[in-house]
Chains A and B, each alone.
Chain A
Amino acid sequence: MNCPGQLSEWVGLAVTGLVLGALYAMIALGYTMVYGVLQLLNFAHSEVFMVGSFAGLYALKWLGVDQPRSGIGLILTLLVALVPAMIFAALTAVGMERIAYRPLRKRGASRLAYLIAAIGVSLFLSNLFLLMDGKSHLGLPFKWPNIAGAAPVAMPPLLERHQVFSVLGVGIDTMQILIVVVALGMMVILDTFVRKTRMGLGIRSVAEDPDTASMMGVNINRVIVVTFAVGGLMAGAAGLLYGMNFGVTQFNIGFIPGIKAFTAAVLGGIGNIRGAVLGGFLLGLVENLGIACVSAQWKDVIAFAVLVGVLMFRPTGILGEQVAK
């Protein structure tokens, strides 16, 4: 234990934590919304995130980004890159619902069957990207497209990192501002969508009581598809931002953020949309302040300890399990 004495070090860690927390929160929203309507823990959500980061990467390459841009060019490029990242991620999420979960739902399968199918989908997707390395696999006569592969793929540098302003002697850079702004913006849009629109009402009613909702004329299948799609859109955007933040993406990039985001969702109260946001920021903060005193190698252990601690002392999370509210 050798905690730093200077305030600026603590603030620096807190800032990094909040930025990561914004990303966790975006992923956690997908977990929590799907959990709200289906009571399903969608393990494969981390792969939706991964697909989003790759889609964003190829969108940036397609746009010919090879050096940092600025001004209007930066904003336009970013918006154009976000679209495929979000759409491909949403398509992945909807696809897994169609192919894997809906047949199970029709049959009224047990929770265990859902969970096993979800882990199967996750395994399938991440290894699909692992195998797309431009070589032949499985004895098939063609070469697989060279998209991902085992090694990390570098993200084109869209944004130059430089300090914009400083808080208590800690520099805040452009990337950090970008992430927090995009994340907060999307969360506000999502919150409004769920609270104000007709479809949002449908989502809330299905989360409350699917049978009654169905009797009141809510098309449950459509609500579920929309829920998966919305979760996918958020995860896709988070995937692109996460990739830009760390400069790389990889076939297994979703695994750790996936577990963290789930922890965030539980921390805030699973099924609770605002809880997921709060949980995300809080978890990012806690795990980063935690490594101030111990080595950074233990960061994942801290997040995990938070999860076990929450489950032990307050399993309903901070804001409670208010379903999709």
Chain B
Amino acid sequence: MNFINKVIPSFPLLLIAAVFIFPLLRPGLIVGGDWTFPSSNKELQVFGQRAFSIWGRLEIPSGTQISHNNLYPVQILARLWAGIGLSGVSFQKSTLFLTIIGIYVFSYRLFVKLTKSKFASIVGALSYLFSPIVFNYLNMGWNYVLLFLALAPLFVQIGLDYFEDGKSRHIIALGLLAAISFFQSQSIIWLPLIFICIFVSQTTRENLSKSILKLMLASVGIGLIVTIVHLPWLLLIVLHPNNILVSTSSVDLKRFSEVLSISDLLRLWGSLYNREFELAFPLSLSPFSYSPIIICIIAPLFSHLKNKLTTYLLMLLLVIIAPTLFINREFIAHIPLSTIIRDISRFLVITSLGVSLGIALALSVIRNKIFRVVICIMLIISASPFFLGRLYTLTGNPTPQAEEYRDFRAALLSIPEIENEPATKSIADKTNVFLPTAGFVFTRADHRFNREYWAVADVQSNFSPVASGIYFSEKSDFLVSNFALNYLTLSSNIDNLTTFFGVFGVDNLLYRSGLESTYKSTLDRDGILKRCQPFLPQGNSDWSITSLCLIKDAYPLIYSSITPQYSNESFTKLLPEFVNLKVRTVVLGCPEKLKEKSSICNIEKISDLAKTIPTLSITKISETKYRVGVENIKGKFILVLNQTYHPGWIIQNRSGERQDYPHVLVNHLVNGWVVDPATNQEKEDYIITFYPQVIYSRLLPISLISLLAMVVYLTHQSKQKNEG
């Protein structure tokens, strides 16, 4: 008996190791259906460094709008990891394995607290880990949702402690968890919902006024902590609302929810693109898929639940979250900024916790051993895809129609460390772009990956220290969208393509013949092979760079012009004007498509421009700050910063005074200023700065210190509590 008591607690860890960890210990980066992580040490550095920059460099060669740095605590951790020389793969696997263990451990601790039964808590925690949502998110590579699943039970436990004791340390702990969980932006909705569920379950007639007061205090405290920790980027988003917030509409919410059904939500199944668990579930066993929801509600039939009625209530409140939102999705879709929710099925993270809590509760009140065994068998069957080895192994196309194919499995991929190749080292300081690019990208050779929504290559280019890509989606800035659509039109001819990229300062196009864009781009592959030089043999990886197309005389980052053209034609029509890259053409004005979206397109003809072009000398101070020395000034001129237009870019004189020169859109994408120097002024030094970065850099240390102080305080409190 003693032996059994010792074995039972270690069994779950063995199970976790066998099902989740061992298969992923083989070499390679874990890549999911549509997301992945940095692979090499340098990629991890690029990812980590992003925590310190607010100028987004994700979408096009020269960067774009203000980035949402909600991930920055994770990125700082990644930067520290990279700093000690470890690779991205090790970072990804370590954090993923800890996350999986965390899902089990934190839910187990919560269930023990609420049910006072270790056996019931083990089964409940295992059902939480072996749930369809873990299966699907692991396969799609959405590790941040998994991390949220690990932190949610901890949040509930601290929330319950708070309503019991009402200590300020609980508010700080809850605030800290909420701030960290912001890596998954939906947590800003998920956690308040969970907190309200806790409040409702814990409130009685006797403690009503106290509970309301506690709720209000905690809400203010948590909100304040989240704001302090994320103020550096949140403030800038408020000042410059960007396209991610304004372009995706409420339609998105409904679109993602169209394939859902309330019956699937109740068995924790379903979401638009994440149906791996469902497709892997044996049809003959489908009645068992409803076992968890049935088991989780039966507790009152076996016991009076007098002491555990509040737990039962909490469980029910958590369970109905996803169905409630689904039923009211039309209404929710009309709420401003509801786009942050994206997809109703994501609320299963809360429902899933409720169902597992219900399972633990039911088992804690059922005394009949045979009935307990039957319940465990039903639960094992309901999680059968895990135990049938379908977590990482695809066994044929489960749906016969190719268009319905939605089954991805996480895989281990070797991505060549191209940043270490001598050839890439020689172009390391240049501006390079990966081809094919735009939209999602998948491999051409591997049929397992030869499907839409396969975005690994694209995401990988986001982490690359060698080159960037164009990540074009409905969330892209409208200028970037316009740029990407022009690229798609021009990609059928390599000469046009090099001209196009040359205008925007790209020195090299890196072609990977093993990859294909999901956008119907007619990339001139033959032209690339003729025009560009061979780079590396493809080898075993579709990610290898096979050709390098050098673009001679690409426009510099900063240049000037005194002969602008005024046109409302599209860039593709204007292309002949740009063919000679030695002549730096500047076009002011916008095609009709852009005019609808931007006031910066309304440009009037500039009079009194200088007759001779001034001489520039450029010094790069940082990625977002440049000193421009201008000599031989003979009058008005246009100063171009060849980075995506953003009102946050400002121009200052040598004394640091902001110059009020008209900020214009150049070549349908980049920044320009009509510089009007003082009379008889022959030379001047200007500073071009991305001003939001200045604010960000000043606020970030305050947030980091606050974050650190709260961690230290909580550690100290926890130590004191343990000693006490």
A, B assembled together: no
A contact residues vs B (CB 8 Å cutoff)? none
B contact residues vs A (CB 8 Å cutoff)? none
